[in-house]
């Protein structure tokens, strides 16, 4: 048992007569490890990009809500009345009247 462990640690299985089988297996496992690492990095990159896009969506949504709130404030009659009062324009006390035009036919 002790002799087998020393032969593995010294690497005798890589230089023996039937070492070609061992090298093929080592290269195959190394290739699989590289593919697995690349796949893991790709998945991590996608996760980070998804998190970044989610943050951007949240920022844009809050900007939209803020803009909608400002628009609602600008559309209020009291707000418009104050702005027009600063310019010297007041609300009419007399209600508007309909103008009816009779056709000449």
R_g over Cα of the chain = 40
Rounded CA-CA distance 92/9 in Å is 100
Say if 103 falls within a structural domain.
no
Say if 64 falls within a structural domain.
yes
Residues 6+ apart with CB under 8 A from 29: none
**pLDDT of res. 52:** 98
Mean per-residue pLDDT of the chain: 89
**Residue scoring higher pLDDT (66 or 3):** 66
The answer to whether 14 touches 23, Cβ cutoff 8 Å, is: yes
Residue 98: CB atoms within 10 Å? 4
The residue range of the domain holding 17 is 2-86
Counted domains in the chain:
1
| pLDDT at residue 17 tops 80 | no
**pLDDT of res. 103:** 84
Say if 105 falls within a structural domain.
no
Residue 26: CB atoms within 10 Å? 13
Say if 63 falls within a structural domain.
yes
pTM (2 d.p.):
0.57
State the average pLDDT over residues 68-90: 91
Say if 93 falls within a structural domain.
no
**Residue scoring higher pLDDT (3 or 97):** 97
State the average pLDDT over residues 69-88: 91
Say if 98 falls within a structural domain.
no
Predicted confidence (pLDDT) per residue in 29-53, tens digit: 999 999 999 999 999 999 999 999 9
Say if 100 falls within a structural domain.
no
Say if 10 falls within a structural domain.
yes
Question: How many Cα atoms occupy the beta-carbon half-sphere of 98 within 13 Å?
Answer: 3
């Amino acid at each position: 048992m002790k002799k087998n462990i020393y032969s593995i640690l010294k690497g005798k299985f890589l230089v023996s007569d039937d070492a070609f089988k061992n090298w093929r297996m080592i290269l195959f496992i190394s290739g699989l490890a590289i593919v697995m690492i690349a796949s893991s990095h790709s998945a991590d990159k996608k996760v980070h990009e998804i998190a970044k896009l989610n943050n951007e969506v949240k920022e844009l949504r809050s900007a939209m809500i803020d803009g909608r709130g400002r628009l609602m404030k600008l559309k209020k009659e009291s707000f418009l009345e104050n702005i027009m009062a600063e310019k010297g324009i007041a609300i009419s006390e007399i209600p508007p009247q309909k103008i009816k035009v009779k056709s000449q036919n």
